[in-house]
Structure 1
Amino acid sequence: MISRKPFYTVVALLFLAGLALSLYRHFVFEVPWLPGEQRQVWSIEAKVEFEATGKPVKASLAIPGTQPGFTLLNEAAASPGYGLSFLERNGGTRAEWTIRQASGPQELYYRVNMMADPHAESPTPVAVPEIAPHTDQEPYATAIHQVLSRALERSSDGFSLTRELIRELGSQQQNAALLAQYRPKPRLLVEMLNRAGIAARVVKGLTLEDGRRRQPLVDLLQVFDDGRVEVVDPATGEPGQIENMLLWERHSSPVLDLVGGVNSRVTFSMIRQQQPVAVALEQKFEDSNLLNFSIHSLPLEEQALFKGILLIPIGVLVVVLMRVLVGLKTSGTFMPVLIAMAFIQTSLVTGLIGFLLIVSMGLVIRSWLSHLNLLLVARISAVIIMVIGIISLFSVLAFKLGLTEGLKITFFPMIILSWTIERMSLLWEEEGAKEVLSQGGGSLLVAVLAYLAMNNDLIRHLTFNFLGLQLTVMAAVLLLGNYTGYRLLELRRFQPLARED
């Protein structure tokens, strides 16, 4: 007896490979299991304004990149007459505009699309700033020392020390009032943390609010301790990046560095958009083509083609289930799948009516051809021409009557319809009308079930986005092909025995 272990091993490997590829697509490339999901995308525009003095101009603007919570999708700049470069400096990226000579009011624009992304991480590790020595004049030096000493007593690490310092500077004590006049609070906090041996720096953040214009940047504190880094709000002391807060400048560099101009300022406008997750993720992973096995990497024309082709295995699975387990008879093995594909193009009701009209009229004409004793090739050719004529006639008639849905019957596979008419006609002559109705009705029922499965939004989403699903479908088909038990419709043969009992 032949061992079935190799067969079941192949089936198990196909199933596991399909499942692994699908999980890989979901967790690595963030493709969702359900259709219709969208991602929040912020379109942000930075406007640089200044007065040029008639000399060469160089304007360097700090720009954001991918960071925890946000992924950079694309960026662009508008600068008529200016040269533009994107440069890496001090670990960050800057947009630099240059021109040989300019005078009068100038406006430069930089636009970036940032996607809210909980999985986003900085492409490069955040560099720890150096701890700079500080010397202060009296009485500020004494006030700083006293505030720092009290905060150190009530803290255990750099992050708790930061919170205690913010609490001390926000109190109504004399030292806090004195230091409030000495330096801006974020810079003062950095100096005090440096005195305690804690690396810190001031970064610039942009609060994202839909439809806001001329928004400024706000100061935030970035604290480093024991290999960890946290962003702290210097006003409240709350750790962690604030919701909808984009870090625009993260390296303590000037936001705008201008040569050849005066009275400069940078303002920000933003709008929030919702993009389909497929569009957003395509932009995010556009450079990872080697491991990203996705139909989305193909041109749009081929994508549209594969969107239909990848549904065929689902229709095939329905046919196998209905024929192997249920025992339905069909006219042609996989003709119902092709009819179901036509139903997807025409809609179910229009497709059913068109199919019944074409096949019924075709059978009438084919019965007349059978009396001519034609050769098989000539007879099939005549049937094909007849089907084309019937479809053309129904299309023109539907258009004349204003029934635009009727025009969609041109999507039916004409060769398949011709063979279906030929097979049913021969079946009628050999087995009778009952067998024709049995196989024709079974074909229509299976085609409708295949259509319902293939036209389901969830199935369309899964087959198009998870190619590994094709392997799992193949494993299921192989298992069904190994079934040798009774079909459901065959159980009718045992009804007489049940009545006797």
Structure 2
Amino acid sequence: MSRKPFYFLIFLLIASGFGYNLYRHKVDHIPFFPGSVQTTWTVEARITYNANGPVEATLALPTDPAFTLLSESAASPGYGLSMTEDQSGRRATWTTRNASGSQELYYTANLVPNGYDLLDDHATEYTVPNLVWDEGLDTAAQTVIAKAWDQSANNRSFALQLAKLVANPEQQQNVALLLARYEPAALLNRLLQTAGVPSQIVYALNLEDGRRRQALRAWVEVQDGENGYLFNPESGTEGRPDNLLLWQRHGNSVLELTGGSNSSVTFSMIEDTRPALATALDMMSAAAQERGLSLYNLPLEEQSLLRGLFLIPIGVLVVVFLRVLIGLKTSGTFMPVLIALAFIQTKLLTGLVGFLLIVACGLVLRSYLSNLNLLLISRISAVVILVLGIIAAFTLLAFNFGLTEGLTITFFPMIILAWTIERMSILWEEEGPKEVFVQGGGSLLVAVITYLAMDNDLVRHWAFNFLGIHLIVLALILVMGQYTGYRLLELRRFRPLAEDKQ
């Protein structure tokens, strides 16, 4: 029979698992490691002006693809507030029919850097207007454009050459002449548009922790192909720093005010850190990516239950590896997994002591039941009741002696313990005490190793947040299921042959 379908299934499971996990990390921003923290910025815009009568104030809101908006709020007592979005971007509009004197409006945004700094969200190219220079400046502008044009190969390099010239007016008299009439950003943008290069002035904010009353700075964005590139006209450099927030990229102005005078906008900011997982969940919620099938939409009680259940495949993988490849013997196939789950609740040392005490007492009582010649179903039922009594007795004793850790032995699965006692008792009668200790010790060893694998913060995090890991676990189990060679512990049988050859 051809093995190709099997190998294809394994490849499909592993590829799907890795692909889904990568999607969760790259798109949903779920961190790979628990305890990771994420930097967030709280930016507050403060609008001040003098009013006398009806007022309408419109503020451009941040539209930067490198930042994800977690939440936003506005403080505007006595004002109506609406937030709209159109081709010119998002804007907040405050309105009132009666305002007088000095007025203050506040807008606060919580932003998270997402690492995406490409400006590729252009639906259409910028419209390049036909500009007319003032008399006497046209020749200077054409001279500067010609010099930069000869030293460039495309829109991007042309803009860089112009930015360098604008930033160093002492090297060019023509540039100095033009700067006497225009601000650096306006001059760079005007020179680019005169040359037919699509560009626009954008306003950005330098993010620095604890800064207050900061103003926006003008940058120039140039479109070259499908991407946009930022240029600093003051330094003559290209590219955006990590702490740069593009506040206004579309539209004509940052603030539009009707019915007021002496308006200004200043910004304050605070840097903070918060758990990366909580931030990722908020980002998914803000972007409407979290849908009804998300585990995080379940009630907390169900989430807690699933967190425990999703550890079972990890425990199963450990058991399969230890039994198939290592060759450890256990009493029951997956009994160690259930015992390991109980250890997670009781903690390891308390669980080991409780397990040994319950099984030891159960074996003593089971030896008496064997003399009664009961039917199997009656004997097992009796053992279950006896195990319940043993657990209750040990719990009561632990409470009376002040051993609060002993109260947790109630988490042990009674049915599994009853079957373990029954199997060990039969094994004692048929194979002797040695085999009981071999299988019992093997079961405890596997349970402890399984517990160590399951009671791990990284494993817990991956098992619940990266469900693709379970497809990879399934693939590994299927691969190990095809193994028919010697177990590692079986190789010791060949030691005499190796000694004879020597």
User: TM-score, normalized by length of structure 1?
Assistant: 0.87
Change (3 A) 1:343 1:130: same
Instruction: Give the drift of 1:274.
Output: 2.7
CA contact (8 A) 2:331 2:420 kept: yes
Instruction: Give the drift of 1:61.
Output: 0.9
Instruction: Give the drift of 1:336.
Output: 0.1
Change (3 A) 1:155 1:472: closer
Change (3 A) 1:331 1:280: same
Deviates more, 1:490-499 or 1:330-339: 490-499
1:97 aligns with 2:98: no
Corresponding position of 1:209 = 208
1:185 aligns with 2:184: yes
CA contact (8 A) 2:230 2:240 kept: yes
Unmatched runs of 5 consecutive residues or more in structure 1: none
1:412 aligns with 2:412: yes
Corresponding position of 2:59 = 61
Letter in 1 for 2:221: Q
Change (3 A) 1:65 1:72: farther
CA distance in 1 between counterparts of 2:328 and 2:237 reads 67
Corresponding position of 1:70 = 67
Corresponding position of 2:230 = 231
The alignment partner of 2:235 has SS state of coil
Instruction: Give the drift of 1:447.
Output: 0.5
Instruction: Give the drift of 1:110.
Output: 2.0
CA distance in 2 between counterparts of 1:495 and 1:30 reads 53
CA distance in 2 between counterparts of 1:498 and 1:141 reads 95
Instruction: Give the drift of 1:92.
Output: 0.7
CA distance in 2 between counterparts of 1:399 and 1:128 reads 76
Corresponding position of 2:342 = 342
Instruction: Give the drift of 1:364.
Output: 2.9
CA contact (8 A) 2:35 2:275 kept: yes
Letter in 2 for 1:276: P
CA distance in 2 between counterparts of 1:144 and 1:18 reads 59
CA distance in 1 between counterparts of 2:467 and 2:216 reads 45
Corresponding position of 2:243 = 244
Corresponding position of 2:40 = 41
Instruction: Give the drift of 1:238.
Output: 0.6
Letter in 2 for 1:331: S
Instruction: Give the drift of 1:140.
Output: 4.3
CA contact (8 A) 1:380 1:422 kept: yes
Corresponding position of 1:352 = 352
Unmatched runs of 5 consecutive residues or more in structure 2: none
The alignment partner of 1:211 has SS state of coil
Report sequence identity in percent: 53
The alignment partner of 1:102 has SS state of strand
CA distance in 2 between counterparts of 1:231 and 1:223 reads 6
Change (3 A) 1:12 1:238: closer
Instruction: Give the drift of 1:63.
Output: 0.5
Deviates more, 1:93-102 or 1:361-370: 361-370
Change (3 A) 1:9 1:180: closer
Letter in 2 for 1:210: D
Letter in 2 for 1:216: A
Corresponding position of 2:462 = 462
1:255 aligns with 2:293: no
1:288 aligns with 2:289: yes
User: TM-score, normalized by length of structure 2?
Assistant: 0.87
CA distance in 1 between counterparts of 2:264 and 2:95 reads 17
The alignment partner of 2:169 has SS state of coil
CA contact (8 A) 1:65 1:72 kept: no
The alignment partner of 1:419 has SS state of helix
CA contact (8 A) 1:66 1:72 kept: no
Letter in 2 for 1:214: R
CA distance in 1 between counterparts of 2:251 and 2:114 reads 24
Letter in 2 for 1:73: L
Corresponding position of 2:265 = 266
Instruction: Give the drift of 1:342.
Output: 1.5
Structure 2 counterpart of 1:82, from 59, 68, 79: 79
Deviates more, 1:218-227 or 1:174-183: 174-183
CA contact (8 A) 2:120 2:227 kept: no
CA distance in 2 between counterparts of 1:325 and 1:362 reads 32
The alignment partner of 1:101 has SS state of strand
Instruction: Give the drift of 1:183.
Output: 2.7
CA distance in 2 between counterparts of 1:396 and 1:81 reads 65
CA distance in 2 between counterparts of 1:101 and 1:417 reads 78
Instruction: Give the drift of 1:448.
Output: 1.0
Instruction: Give the drift of 1:207.
Output: 0.5
CA contact (8 A) 2:51 2:103 kept: yes
Letter in 1 for 2:132: T
CA deviation map 1:394-416 (0-9, x unaligned)? 34444444444333323222222
CA deviation map 1:278-319 (0-9, x unaligned)? 3333333443357x9864454444333222222211211222
Letter in 2 for 1:315: G
Letter in 2 for 1:435: E
CA distance in 2 between counterparts of 1:220 and 1:499 reads 80
CA contact (8 A) 2:63 2:248 kept: no
Change (3 A) 1:388 1:56: farther
The alignment partner of 2:237 has SS state of coil
CA contact (8 A) 2:17 2:469 kept: yes
Change (3 A) 1:157 1:325: closer
Change (3 A) 1:162 1:476: closer
Instruction: Give the drift of 1:191.
Output: 2.2
Corresponding position of 1:363 = 363
CA distance in 1 between counterparts of 2:242 and 2:6 reads 54
The alignment partner of 2:277 has SS state of helix
Change (3 A) 1:493 1:283: same
Letter in 2 for 1:274: T
Change (3 A) 1:418 1:226: closer
Letter in 2 for 1:119: Y
Letter in 2 for 1:482: Q
Letter in 2 for 1:180: L
The alignment partner of 2:98 has SS state of coil
Letter in 2 for 1:114: L
Deviates more, 1:433-442 or 1:73-82: 73-82
CA distance in 2 between counterparts of 1:355 and 1:453 reads 19
CA contact (8 A) 1:324 1:480 kept: yes
Change (3 A) 1:228 1:398: same
State how 1:165-180 maps to structure 2 within 5 Å. 165-169=162-166, 170-172=168-170, 175-180=174-179
Aligned residues: 497
CA distance in 1 between counterparts of 2:380 and 2:132 reads 100
Corresponding position of 1:422 = 422
State how 1:486-497 maps to structure 2 within 5 Å. 486-495=486-495
CA deviation map 1:225-248 (0-9, x unaligned)? 455421111101111123310100
CA deviation map 1:222-274 (0-9, x unaligned)? 12345542111110111112331010000242211122333332222222223
Corresponding position of 2:302 = 302
Change (3 A) 1:144 1:274: same
